[in-house]
Amino acid sequence: MGATIQGGITTFRVWAPNAEKVFVIGDFNDWNRTNFELEHEDAGYWSGATDLAQPQQQYKYLIHYQGQQLERNDPYAFEVTNSDGNSVIRELNFNWDGDDFTMPAWNTLVIYELHVGTFNRKDPEKVGTFAHVVEKLPYLAELGVNCIELLPVAEFAGGISWGYNPAHPFAIEQDYGGPEGLAYLVREAHRSGIAVIMDVVYNHFGPSDVDLWQFDGWSENGKGGIYFYNDHRSQTPWGDTRPDYGRQEVRQYLRDNALMWIEKYHCDGLRLDATSYIRFEGGGLGDDKAIDEGNQMMQEINAELQQKYPQVLTIAEDLKGHSFITDDIAAGGIGYGSQWDMNFVHPVREVLTDTHDDSRDLQKIIDALTYSYSGDVFRRIIYTESHDEVANGKARVPEEIQPGDAESGFAKKRAILGLVLVLTAPGIPMIFQGQEFIEDEYFQDTEPLDWNKLDRHPGIFRLVSDLVKLRTGAYSGTGGLRDQAIEVVHSNQETKILAFRRGGMEEPLLILMNFSAVDHQDYMIGLDDGLEWKLRLNTVWKGYDEHFSDLEVSEPELEHFSTDQKNISGKFNIPAYAALIYSL
């Protein structure tokens, strides 16, 4: 499909079942509207070949329909001049020599979500680019993350956007650096040991600058024509542009797009946006009606990726808490590798931002820690901040904790408790850009990430880096964090002390958390006999922040005293709003 080049010949192929004639106009024929007519194939396809068209030349399709002549960009164009411009003839044959990168095992991943336009924006008047992200890869490697997830980079209307308004799904946003820029970023990320997950939007298109709209002239009810539903099913919160998953050609279009990111750009995973709006007419609210062909489309994509590229991770942003999303296709599920977990982020944020210690409910934390999908703890992505959770009226966690004073010790320590939960709980952890240095501004595509906060909080960066490296295994003796097992060993609603153990008998870890503003000394927690726990990390160590705790923390003193149904108890000093991590 699209414009393909072989042996000096460019072949154009397009699906336009209602067209009466189709021509290609472009630089190669001086935009002549009659001298390159495509031949009609079966099933509504049109194709033709020429030796005149060359790479980097611009073109469009000219579609005749009921007396109209419609100029349309190529739905499969790998590049456009801009969202309202022309298609560009090109191949995606990048130099991948030496790129033998393999996606890390999913249980070792720590994902860093970033927005290309704001992550490392140099000029407030211009968006950030792929090259600007590359400049920060050494920083991300020092932080210890081994995977980045990019907000959508398909060509969108204008130059500033979150990216969730794709106008040309196969083209790469020119303001970010276009196709070469993305390939450069992926190649350099791989050289840094960092995987790349691409966020894609298949629940709607546009709604602006979308040449797919009434592509070949035909439509019903004033709707979008062949690529879209032409009845009430077209409606989404983002526009009247839900793709018609009931058409095999549209499912193929989205399948081809998914494969492009993996095969042409060597991405290591896909995160599909708002999948509940692919599988339900109203996103799964109330007595909503299912869209069975939407489920079929996602199953087809997941099945093919699993067969061809089993290391590729597909992630659903479904947020309905259904194991059906990650259940195996053979068992009737949709087959995603993992899904964003509403059963973690919402209760954890609620507990962290509660203004009163007395009402802080540890059971909500326990339920969040122990939740899983499809019988596998790594079938969920866990986080306290994402582009959605820190925008649209919601702020960063420290700002939610203490509005107007997010850099106070009070707010920092509680926000760090959230990061500890993310990086020690069963699941695939994800952090959002700037979370590692207490960024407190809510996310806007017009505002760059404030790197000055890194200069103010280098110790917090070091703390988060230590947590990340415990999680990935860069620090030894931490295999329990990459295990399926979790055991809550102590929970006290009065003291707000929670302790849980990760892993089995090999490389287990013990995590103690104090969700109150009270220091506890000689606090008794039941321990297994014969295990000598060594302190690995204290989140309120003054080496991380000079305003943190003076309370001395060390290895537990053991006593033959029964606590938590254990014969041996350990006496711990647990500072206010602290998390302590122990290993053997």
Strands (E), 18-157: 21-26, 39-40, 45-50, 58-65, 68-72, 87-88, 111-114, 147-150, 154-156
Tell me, what's the pLDDT at 503? 94
Comparing CA positions, the residue from 581, 562, 569, 580 lying closest to residue 524 is 569
CATH 2.60.40.1180 assigned to domain 479-583? The reply is yes
Tell me, what's the pLDDT at 124? 82
Is residue 527 a contact partner of residue 533, using CB atoms and an 8 Å limit? yes
CATH classification (class only), 106-472: alpha beta
Tell me, what's the pLDDT at 73? 98
Tell me, what's the pLDDT at 57? 98
Give the span between the Cα atoms of 302 and 99, in whole angstroms: 24
Is residue 410 a contact partner of residue 400, using CB atoms and an 8 Å limit? no
Tell me, what's the pLDDT at 147? 98
The two structure tokens encoding residue 307: 């067969």
Q: Where in the chain is the domain with CATH 3.20.20.80?
A: 106-472
Helix, coil or strand: residue 135? helix
Tell me, what's the pLDDT at 192? 97
Tell me, what's the pLDDT at 486? 97
Is residue 396 a contact partner of residue 442, using CB atoms and an 8 Å limit? yes
Q: What angle do CA 126, 130, 134 make, to 5 degrees?
A: 120
Only one residue has tokens 């306290």, namely 384
pLDDT (tens digit per residue) in 393-417:
889 999 999 999 999 999 999 999 9
Is residue 465 a contact partner of residue 143, using CB atoms and an 8 Å limit? yes
Tell me, what's the pLDDT at 176? 97
Query: Phi/psi at 241 (nearest 5 deg)?
Result: -135, 40
| Residues comprising the chain, all counted | 584
Only one residue has tokens 């060390």, namely 554
Tell me, what's the pLDDT at 138? 98
Q: Where in the chain is the domain with CATH 2.60.40.1180?
A: 479-583
Tell me, what's the pLDDT at 287? 82
Tell me, what's the pLDDT at 202? 98
- Residue 431's contacts (CB-CB under 8 Å, 6 or more residues apart) are 110, 111, 112, 113, 145, 383, 385, 419, 422, 464
Q: Cα–Cα distances in Å, from 371 out to 13, 72, 347, 364, 382?
A: 48, 48, 12, 11, 11
pLDDT (tens digit per residue) in 248-264:
999 999 999 999 999 99
**Fold designation for 2-88:** Immunoglobulin-like (2.60.40)
Only one residue has tokens 């494969």, namely 259
pLDDT (tens digit per residue) in 285-328:
888 899 999 999 999 999 999 999 999 999 999 999 999 999 99
Tell me, what's the pLDDT at 531? 87
The two structure tokens encoding residue 36: 């390159």
The two structure tokens encoding residue 432: 């959002």
Give the span between the Cα atoms of 226 and 249, in whole angstroms: 9
Give the span between the Cα atoms of 584 and 582, in whole angstroms: 7
Per-residue pLDDT tens digits of the chain, which is 584 residues long: 999 999 999 999 999 999 999 999 999 999 999 999 999 999 999 999 999 999 999 999 999 999 999 999 999 999 999 999 999 999 999 999 989 999 999 999 999 999 999 999 988 889 999 999 999 999 999 999 999 999 999 999 999 999 999 999 999 999 999 999 999 999 999 999 999 999 999 999 999 999 999 999 999 999 999 999 999 999 999 999 999 999 999 999 999 999 999 999 999 999 999 999 999 999 988 888 999 999 999 999 999 999 999 999 999 999 999 999 999 999 999 999 999 999 999 999 999 999 999 999 999 999 999 999 999 999 999 999 999 999 988 899 999 999 999 999 999 999 999 999 999 999 999 999 999 999 998 999 999 999 999 999 999 999 999 999 999 999 999 999 999 999 999 999 999 999 999 998 889 999 999 999 999 999 999 998 878 999 999 999 999 999 999 999 999 999 888 898 888 999 999 999 999 999 99
Only one residue has tokens 């649209």, namely 392
**207: cis peptide before it, omega within 30°?**
yes
Give the span between the Cα atoms of 368 and 261, in whole angstroms: 33
DSSP 127: -
Tell me, what's the pLDDT at 21? 97
Tell me, what's the pLDDT at 285? 83
DSSP string for residues in 519-573: -EEEEEEEE-TT---EEEEETT-TTT-TTS--S---SPEEES--BTTBSEEEEEE
Give the span between the Cα atoms of 47 and 1, in whole angstroms: 9
Tell me, what's the pLDDT at 418? 98
Q: Where in the chain is the domain with CATH 2.60.40.10?
A: 2-88
Quote the longest CA-to-CA distance of the chain. Answer: 93
Q: How far apart are the first and last CA of the chain?
A: 58
Strands (E), 353-448: 380-382, 428-432
